[in-house]
């Protein structure tokens, strides 16, 4: 049976480090509150304006392509997961296609927020196993810093997010034991307004008004407690379902790379799954929530650190806006 395998990974973080103390100068918050509630110590912001998600994606993609031994002209399809595209349209995948110097290939944007990378992995897996494409580049990249409200009103959301990009290359593998073994995707729009960015909106005429700007409806709004409850419920559920379908238990998992929204969420999810903390990958302490980029950054860093090698079985799980949630099991 033909499988799709992850053959390269890359990541890129902008150089500007923003600490919790830096944010405490802009709003009533503290390093202690942020660390206790979320595990975040610092995050990265773009150095200056004019840098979009596709710009962060370029170095991440190049690193992933290098590891896979491919050049940009070898790429057959790009899937770009982001909730912060460079502009409203076109999608960021076309900007990346042009900036990398790829051929006139398929370029697709995926809008599934924190689950966007795993949704993209499922598409790449299906394309490759069906023989549609051979060399698929997946990128998750976000520029949050230009879209969060860095003041008192926005403090509950603003402290959570950071900018960054991660990428993987997915290619066919003849080795039946290696590759993407399972991906499971879910959504429930009952939560659509629990975490959203409302405006500009095509359902309003005009799409953006001065009143909306004054009310801050162009900034993300979140019911943090509801998202937290759903996340600690759904992430273990979907991950356990993936393992069960493969006849695996948590003991067969070598590394767990969850989405990075909150360290407490990830510790609870790992505990529910009986996965020891030493198998848990986290980057939220250094980068905050980079949304579609968290999992590919985690994969790339783990690979470079030697925590991923040939044969390593990696479990991934995500939960985010939509609500959407997903899991995957990959053998490297
Ligand atoms: N600094 C200090 N105090 C704050 C801050 C802040 N930045 N933000 C809120 N507070 C205050 C609140 O006003 C509240 O005060 P009150 O008790 O006087 O009303 C108090 O701190 C406690 O706030 P809670 O909301 O109860 O804090 P909680 O323990 O729930 O933690 C958090 C909040 C961290 C946001 C948590 O709910 C969470 O992690 N939720 C899930 C986030 C998530 O998973 N997002 C999804 C991914 S994102 C995506 O898909 C795009």
- Active site residues per annotation: 114, 259, 289
The preferred substitution site among 224, 230, 294 for testing ligand 1, maximizing ligand atoms within 8 Å of CB, is 224
Last residue of a domain, one of 146, 173, 200: 173
Best of 29, 228, 292 for a ligand 1 pocket test (most atoms within 8 Å of beta carbon): 228
Is there a single domain that holds both residue 156 and residue 15?
Answer: yes
User: Hey, is 238 helix, strand or coil?
Assistant: helix
Residues 164 and 238 grouped into a single domain: no
Reply yes or no on whether the pLDDT at 105 is more than 90. Answer: yes
* Ligand 1 centroid from CA 156, angstroms: 5
Taking CB atoms within 8 Å and a gap of at least 24, the contacts of 223-228 are 223/194, 223/195, 224/156, 226/191, 226/194, 227/191, 227/194, 227/195, 227/261, 227/319, 227/323, 228/262, 228/265
20 and 162 co-located in one domain: yes
pLDDT of residue 185: 98
pLDDT, tens digit (0-9, with 9 covering 90-100), for 179-208: 999 999 999 999 999 999 999 999 999 999
Point out the domain boundary residue: 116, 150, 173.
173
Same-domain pairing of 146 and 280: no
- Could you report the per-residue pLDDT of 131-165, keeping only the tens digit for each? 999 999 999 999 999 999 999 999 999 999 999 99
Q: Is 12 in the pocket of ligand 1 (CB under 6 A)?
A: no
Q: Is 114 in the pocket of ligand 1 (CB under 6 A)?
A: yes
**196 and 102 assigned to the same domain:** no
Specify whether 195 is located in the same domain as 153. Answer: no
Based on the domain organization, do 88 and 190 belong to the same domain? no
Whether 113 is in the pocket of ligand 1, judged by its Cβ within 6 Å, is yes
pLDDT digits (tens, 9 = 90+) for 48-74: 999 999 999 999 999 999 999 999 999
| CA 222–ligand 1 middle distance (angstroms) | 9
Residue 52 has, within 13 A of its CA and on its CB side, a CA count of 18
Q: Check whether residue 169 and residue 206 sit in a common domain.
A: no
CA of 157 to the centre of ligand 1 (A): 7
In this structure, are residues 222 and 216 in contact, taking their beta carbons and an 8 Å threshold? no
User: Does 149 share its domain with 187?
Assistant: no
Give percent of the chain with pLDDT exceeding 90: 98
18 pocket-lining for ligand 1 (C-beta < 6 Å): no
The parent domain of residue 38 ranges over 3-173
95 alpha carbon, distance to own chain's centre: 19
CA of 231 from ligand 1 middle (Å) equals: 14
Model-level pTM?
Answer: 0.97
Nearest residue (by CA) to ligand 1, atom 3, is 29
Give residue 176's pLDDT band: very low, low, confident or very high (50, 70, 90).
confident
Domain endpoint, select from 149, 173, 197: 173
Indicate whether 266 and 235 sit together in one domain: yes
Our count of domains for the chain comes to 2
174 falls in which pLDDT band (50, 70, 90)?
Answer: confident
* One domain, residues 309 and 185: yes
Residues in the chain: 332
Are 315 and 212 in the same domain? yes
pLDDT of residue 158: 97
Nearest atom in ligand 1 to 231's CA: 44
Q: The domain spanning residue 228 has which CATH number?
A: 3.40.47.10
pLDDT above 90 (res 2)? no
Report the C-alpha gap between 173 and 249 in whole angstroms.
24
Whether 121 lines ligand 1, by a CB cut-off of 6 Å, is: no
Kindly report, residue by residue over 222-261, the tens digit of the pLDDT: 999 999 999 999 999 999 999 999 999 999 999 999 999 9
Find the 111 Cα to ligand 1 centroid distance in Å.
24
Q: Is residue 228 within 6 Å of ligand 1 at its C-beta?
A: yes
Predicted confidence band at 35 (pLDDT cuts at 50, 70, 90)? very high
pLDDT attached to residue 1: 75
Please check whether residue 43 is in contact with residue 72, taking contact to mean a CB–CB distance below 8 angstroms. Answer: no
Secondary structure element (H or E) that encloses residue 285, with its range: helix 284-287
Interatomic CA distance for residues 244 and 276, integer angstroms: 18
Give the SS3 label for residue 161: strand
């Amino acid at each position: 049976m033909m499988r799709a395998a992850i053959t390269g990974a890359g990541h890129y973080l902008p150089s500007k480090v923003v600490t919790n103390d830096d944010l405490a100068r802009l709003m009533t918050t503290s390093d202690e509150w942020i660390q206790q509630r979320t595990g975040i110590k610092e995050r990265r912001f773009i150095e200056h304006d004019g840098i979009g998600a596709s710009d962060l994606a370029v170095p991440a993609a190049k690193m992933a392509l290098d590891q896979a031994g491919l050049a940009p002209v070898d790429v057959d399809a790009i899937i770009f997961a982001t909730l912060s595209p460079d502009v409203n349209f076109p999608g960021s995948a076309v900007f990346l296609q042009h900036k990398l110097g790829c051929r006139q290939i398929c370029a697709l944007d995926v809008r599934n927020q924190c689950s966007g990378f795993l949704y993209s992995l499922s598409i790449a897996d299906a394309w490759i196993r069906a023989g549609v494409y051979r060399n698929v580049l997946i990128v998750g990249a976000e520029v949050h810093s230009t879209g969060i409200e860095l003041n008192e009103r926005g403090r509950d959301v603003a402290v959570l997010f950071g900018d960054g990009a991660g990428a993987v290359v997915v290619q066919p593998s003849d080795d039946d034991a290696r590759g993407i073994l399972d991906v499971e995707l879910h959504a429930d729009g009952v939560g659509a307004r629990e975490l959203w960015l409302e405006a500009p909106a095509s359902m309003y005429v005009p799409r953006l008004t001065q009143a909306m700007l004054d009310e801050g409806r162009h900034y993300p709004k979140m019911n943090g407690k509801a998202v937290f409850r759903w996340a600690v419920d759904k992430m273990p559920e979907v991950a356990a379902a993936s393992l069960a379908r493969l006849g695996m238990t948590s003991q067969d998992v070598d590394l767990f790379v969850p989405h990075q929204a909150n360290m407490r969420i990830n510790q609870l999810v790992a505990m529910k799954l009986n996965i020891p903390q030493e198998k848990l990958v986290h980057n939220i302490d250094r980068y905050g929530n980079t949304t579609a980029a968290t999992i590919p950054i985690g994969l790339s860093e783990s690979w470079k650190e030697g925590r991923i090698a040939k044969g390593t079985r990696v479990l991934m799980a995500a939960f985010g806006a939509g609500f959407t949630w997903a899991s995957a099991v990959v053998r490297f």
